[in-house]
Amino acid sequence: MKKLMKEFKEFAFKGNVLELAVAVVLGGAFNKVVTAVVDIFLTPILEALPKLENGGTGFVGSLISFLAVVVEFLLTALILFAIIKAFNKAKDLKKKEEAPAAPTTKKCPFCMSEIDIKATRCPHCTSELKE
């Protein structure tokens, strides 16, 4: 039982799982914002369109509800795409800023062992190295 709990703890507290949990919570909150925008701004516009039936119930009412859900999905997808694209761009910029460190070792051309870059003689095969 202790081994199972230890494995679960290692799984649950890995960085990816925590990031996924945060993403799910933020996604739910973001979904509420998009739903509010659709309900407040877009649904009245769709309801103001000419009605095909009396009172806008039945097929037209269902169509308006469906269109509101589709618009909500498209807005959510578009905004998440923009956020992810900006995040990936920022991550790429950070990688470019980190210049690779200068090498501190080199290989001996005779015995192929790694030696200090400033060495003039290989400590393994005692060969004299050219600079």
Residue 115 has phi, psi (to 5 degrees) of: -135, 165
Q: 């103001």: which residue's tokens? A: 48
Q: Is 56 exposed, middle or buried (0-12, 13-18, 19+ CB in 10 A)?
A: middle
Q: 85-129 pLDDT, tens per residue?
A: 888 888 888 777 666 777 888 888 888 888 888 888 888 888 887
pTM above 0.85, yes or no: no
Domains and CATH numbers, the chain: 2-97 (1.10.1200.120), 101-131 (no CATH)
Compute φ and ψ for 126, nearest 5 degrees.
60, 20
Q: What is the pLDDT of residues 69-95, one digit of tens each?
A: 888 888 888 887 888 888 888 888 877
Q: Which residues contact 80 (CB under 8 A, 6 or more apart)?
A: 27, 30
